[in-house]
Amino acid sequence: MQEFFCPDPVALHARLRPDSLACVDLASDCRWTYRELDTDIQRAVALLHHEGIDKGDRIAVLARNSVYQIILQQALMRLGAIFVPLNWRLSQQELPHLLKDCTPTILYTDDEVSDLPPGCRSHSLVSFASEFAALDPAPRCLPHSSSDTCIILYTSGTSGMPKGAQLTAQFLLATAMNFNVLGEVDTGCIFLCDTPMFHVIGIVTQIWPPMLRGGTFIVSPGFDAEKTNDRLSDPDFGVTHYFCVPQMAEALRQAPNFEPEGWTKLKALFTGGAPNPAAHIRWWLERGVRMVDGYGMTETGTTLGMPLSRDLLYSKAGAAGLPGPLTTVRLVDEDDQDVPDGEPGEILVFGLNVIAGYWNLPEERKGSFTEDGWIRTGDIGRRDEDGYITIVDRRKDMFISGGENVYPVEIEAVLLEHPAVREVAVIGVPDKRWGEVGRAYVVAAPGQELDQEELARHCQSFIARYKVPKEFRFVDKLPRTGSGKVIKYVLRKEALEVH
């Protein structure tokens, strides 16, 4: 098989458009042209050489978003070493497990961490920035294989213990190309980057597409709804692309300074990472904002995406779209046979945008991949006659009531159409008569009163009776991961304990 080498878009654009603005760090108010960014990456390579970092070594980061994380990641990729961004929201009980798993040589942090594994030393990310700035750029390294692991991303753990997904350089390139085609990204693009860099959206999808095109990425230290609303309206920023999870979009909408008519340069507001109901998408479209939902995972990057046509976005609202150009998708039944259009099937993905495997878990590949290399996503999709795929649910979230398969996402989408409902999560709970029935955890919209009988009648107008939840629980909030996904195993655990 022919060998390919790591892509290096920064080095390329340092020659193609050296004086073009590459990035802005909002926390430090620093900015870099492509020539300056390329030079600083080579300075960081010199510092890492001095620290004794070699090919295959892991360098972990526990810090808020900054351009310096991108400089570190790019420098490590030029060295053939591995970047491991960790969730700074983790508890003191969770973090040691991940550090023990990835065994980093250095942990760069915002704050001091005491419980380090053997052989790991801790430095501040601020000191990293000041130290490399004082050095001369290192000589260029020979390029490394694009199939080598260059980032380890720990999955957010909605079903239990996180696993370290091994991202390769070809994964980064394929994700960027998929998003660039689907998202109509061009050289003049300007991305505002709020999503945490310990997630695939944060470290790949909001960084690599503009970097590949020679555009600009503006990095904020973290999401703040009011600040983001102001930045999307700021003509000096001229933001063209904004990517977030649906819960962040909802926060923008609820903020007091929400004025989308001022987002004059924005091509679209892209969502991913969690289901985005059709009702929400139509709400944004009716207010002049193209809300473009897509589908991907830590393990597959950008996989599906919608076109930017307002008519198609409205008529296909709720769909996650079509596969990107470097991706192939199948929908299969339990025997791995392709299902016809209109029938639900598990989504299998094949392409350069698929991870190599899981760090320290070689046995996981057997369960997660088919023998011929398709990754089993565990997500259930349905394809329409035009090829657009809608995510029906997670396979593990499906439950069986009276012999019928029930997909909670379908019920959640219906409930979110009701004006009194702001958020909802549906799970299956044990039932003596039907085996399992639905239980809906519902958060009320501001100023609204919830009524169980009214919600049940609403559901019966749209879905079969066996799908209607038999119980509604009204709650103040839903348990979520740092990326905004509902942690349904917490709800299931509570249901089993109560039952």
Nearest-angstrom CA–CA distance, 311 and 61: 43
Q: Has residue 15 got a pLDDT over 80?
A: yes
Kindly state the DSSP code that residue 175 receives in the 8-state scheme. Answer: H
Q: What is the pLDDT of residue 482?
A: 66
Q: What is the pLDDT of residue 143?
A: 82
Nearest to 190 by CA among 133, 114, 267: 267
CA 288/CA 11 separation, integer angstroms: 38
Instruction: Encode pLDDT of 389-439 as tens digits.
Output: 999 877 778 787 876 778 888 899 899 999 999 999 999 998 888 878 999
pLDDT tens by residue, 97-151: 899 999 999 999 998 887 888 999 999 999 999 999 999 999 998 888 889 999 9
Measured between alpha carbons, how far is 22 from 34 in angstroms, rounded to an integer?
Answer: 5
CB-based contacts of 387, cutoff 8 Å, min separation 6: 322
Is residue 453's pLDDT more than 70? Answer: yes
pLDDT (tens digit, 9 = 90+) per residue, 27-45?
999 999 999 999 999 999 9
Token reading at 361: 């878990």
pLDDT given at position 400 = 79
Angle between helices 34-50 and 9-16 (to 10 degrees): 140
Query: Could you read off the pLDDT of 464-474 as tens digits, one per residue?
Result: 788 999 999 99
Identify the band that residue 498 occupies on the pLDDT scale cut at 50, 70 and 90: low
Q: What confidence score (pLDDT) does residue 351 get? A: 95
Residues 6+ apart with CB under 8 A from 62: 86, 88, 95, 107, 108, 109, 110, 111, 113
Structure tokens at 113: 């961490």
Structure tokens at 379: 């997500």
Q: For all residues of the chain together, what is the average pLDDT?
A: 92
Start-to-end Cα distance in the chain: 55
Higher pLDDT, 497 or 392: 392
Predicted confidence band of residue 158 (pLDDT cuts 50, 70, 90) = very low
Looking at this protein, which amino acid is placed at residue 251?
A
- Nearest-CA neighbor of 27 among 210, 143, 253, 194? 194
- Which residues does 335 contact at the CB level (< 8 Å), separation at least 6? none
Q: How confident is the model at residue 1 (pLDDT cuts 50, 70, 90)?
A: very low
Res 2 pLDDT > 70: no
pLDDT digits (tens, 9 = 90+) for 286-333: 999 999 999 999 999 999 999 999 999 999 999 999 999 999 999 999
Average pLDDT for residues 358-372, to the nearest whole number? 90
Please determine, for residue 163, whether its predicted confidence score (pLDDT) is greater than 80: yes
Token reading at 76: 């490590």
Look at residue 394 in the predicted model and tell me its pLDDT.
74
Predicted TM-score (pTM) of the model is 0.84
Q: Which two tokens stand for residue 205?
A: 């999808």
Q: Classify each residue of 127-143 as buried b or exposed e, where b means 16 or more C-beta atoms within 10 Å of its C-beta.
A: ebbebbeebeebeebeb
DSSP one-letter code for 204: I
Q: What DSSP letter does each residue of 406-458 carry, written as one string?
A: E-HHHHHHHHTTSTTEEEEEEEEEEETTTEEEEEEEEEEPTT----HHHHHHH
Task: Determine the pLDDT at residue 186.
Answer: 95
The pLDDT > 70 percentage for the chain reads: 97
Angle of helix 246-254 relative to helix 278-285, nearest 10 degrees, comes to: 50
**CA dihedral over 42, 47, 52, 57, signed as positive or negative:** negative
What DSSP designation does 145 have?
A: B
Average pLDDT value for residue range 268-292: 92
Contact, 212 vs 180, CB < 8 A?
Answer: yes
250-257 average pLDDT score: 94
Q: Which residues pair with 437 in a beta bridge?
A: 429
Express each pLDDT in 80-98 by its tens digit. Answer: 999 999 988 776 777 888 9
Q: Are the CB atoms for 136 and 91 separated by under 8 Å?
A: no
Which range has the worst mean pLDDT, 155-164, 428-437, 486-495?
A: 155-164
Q: Which of 181-195, 277-291, 358-372 has the lowest mean pLDDT?
A: 358-372
Question: What's residue 242's pLDDT?
Answer: 98
pLDDT per position as a tens digit, 330-360: 999 989 999 999 999 999 999 999 999 999 9
Please tell me the predicted confidence (pLDDT) of residue 40: 98
Structural domains present in the chain: 9-390 (3.40.50.12780), 398-498 (3.30.300.30)
